[in-house]
A = this chain, B = another copy of it.
Amino acid sequence: MNQMKPTHSGYFLGKSVVALAASLREGSVTSVELTQAALDSIERLNPTLNAFVQVDAPIALAQACKADELLAQGQDLGPLHGIPVAVKDNIDTFDYITTYGSAHFEGFKPERDALCVQRVRLAGAIIVGKTLTHEFAYGPTGDRSLQGAARNPWDARCMTGGSSAGSAAAVASGIVPLALGTDTGGSIRIPSGLCGAVGFKPSYGSVPLDGVFPLSSSLDHVGPIANCIEGARLLFEVLSGRVCAPAAPEPRPLRVGWITSGSFGPVDAQVEQQFYQAAQQLFGNALQEVEDLASQAAGMKDTLLMLQRAEAYDVHAERMQQAAQLFEAEVRERLELSQEVRGWQYIRAQAAQQQYHAHMAQLFERYDFLVSPTVPITAPVVDAREVRVGEQNIDVRAAVLSYTSAWNLTGLPAISLPVGQVKGLPVGLQVIAAAGRDDRLLQVMGDLYSHLPL
């Protein structure tokens, strides 16, 4: 999909799930071979990328054996049957240790699979390991966890972004074609954008959260990271337990709102240029500037922060009181701040969230999609906390979240697509749709993106 290849690349780079599924059914490859290829890629690349935090070859190969047997018996569980998938380490798996990226859960083995993992297994996919998450998914940089920092496949000195750091690195490098991520402020889309994968945050509530370690219950989402839109769609169908509606003819030309550069914070000029060029190629004349979001941006960010902080502290109060030293320092600092949110502020944030929902419903009467850069900068180096954009030094964590978090607050489906590079690092384009229009977003973008001359 991208002309250029990441520096660190594995077996599945450029291999779509659809092509792999065909090969499996033709008999030209087996699930055991695909799983072994993933394991080999892990062995080769993981010392550099630190994308996987738990791998267990016998567990993975046993699943693959079973998948091959079933296929041989004519039992076809669908397009993911036999395909290696990686699972973010804040999602429970009964067979792999699940640490949530935290020393609090070192060596922890959940009793059962998360519901979304159950669905992935029932669809025949092979879980080849658990991927690094920023500690408790509470950070957008992917460089603070029990297992350290994940590293960007395009330049291992750079961060992946987070919190679904390992899943994005694993897919973007081609170690696996698909991975599960979670997204509370951008945690699927940010690392997908910075690493050059397709990352999809579905509508709020469309994928069950049972067995996913909570960060902020009113903002949490589970979704796919994939090496193509079709892969993301197939995994989303499995995760949500329903088949996407077939493509319907569009009643009129698309109306695409281009979110004015700067509305949600400063954007690097080269990133903006790369984004805008791709948006022009994708949408042409359908693109119209949306000016009125800038006035909402600060309020939306504040509202999201209030909700996220209060809900995150609710989850971690006892750990903060009894074993605060086990948290990574930066995460602990965020939780200390989180404790300060007042009850009345939380109540107001809940009310404001409802108003933003209503505002977005109105906005999407005028537009089919909104587009923006996914992240306004390219991947900074690991551990960087300030970065220069134009004439300004800006906070890395605020910057990487700036264009994604509004769609967690409002629960809208949003996808990040790789649209080229700036100085050898990926740039992502984010497309947002109205609530519940996940299917259409995936279909229309699948069609348009396939024609993008990258």
Contacts and interface: CB of A to CB of B under 8 A. Distances in A.
28 contacts: A306-B343, A309-B343, A310-B342, A310-B343, A310-B344, A310-B346, A310-B347, A311-B343, A311-B344, A311-B347, A313-B342, A313-B343, A313-B344, A314-B343, A314-B344, A314-B347, A314-B348, A338-B344, A339-B342, A339-B344, A340-B342, A341-B342, A341-B343, A342-B342, A343-B343, A343-B346, A346-B346, A346-B347
A221 to B, nearest CB: 19
| Closest 5 pairs between A and B when the two form their complex, measured CB to CB | A310-B343, A343-B346, A341-B343, A314-B344, A313-B344
A277 interface: no
Q: Which of A317, A340, A346 has the most CB of B within 10 A?
A: A346
Interface in A294-329: 306, 309-311, 313-314, 317
Contacts of A310: 342-344, 346-347
Nearest to A351: B314
Interface string A102-128: 000000000000000000000000000
Interface string A408-439: 00000000000000000000000000000000
A23 interface: no
Contacts of A340: 342
Contacts of A317: 344
B343 A345 contact: yes
Nearest to A306: B343
A386 B340 CA distance: 34
Contacts of A311: 343-344, 347
A398 to B, nearest CB: 21
Contacts of A313: 342-344
Contacts of A339: 342, 344
Contacts of A348: 314
A217 to B, nearest CB: 9
A317 to B, nearest CB: 6
A45 to B, nearest CB: 40
Nearest to A341: B343
Nearest to A346: B343
Contacts of A344: 310-311, 313-314, 317, 338-339, 341
A9 to B, nearest CB: 44
Q: Which of A309, A313, A341, A343 has the most CB of B within 10 A?
A: A343
A344 B338 CA distance: 9
A418 B366 CA distance: 62
A311 to B, nearest CB: 6
A311 B309 CA distance: 18
A329 B103 CA distance: 49
A209 to B, nearest CB: 15
A241 to B, nearest CB: 26
Contacts of A346: 310, 343, 346-347
A342 B341 CA distance: 6
Given A311-B343, A341-B343, A343-B343, 10 more contacts: A309-B343, A310-B342, A310-B344, A310-B346, A311-B347, A314-B343, A317-B344, A339-B342, A340-B342, A341-B344
Contacts of A306: 343
Nearest to A307: B343
Interface in A331-362: 338-348
Interface in A257-285: none
A313 B313 CA distance: 20
A333 to B, nearest CB: 16
Contacts of A309: 343
Q: Which of A306, A310, A314 has the most CB of B within 10 A?
A: A314
Contacts of A343: 306, 309-311, 313-314, 341-343, 345-346
Contacts of A338: 344
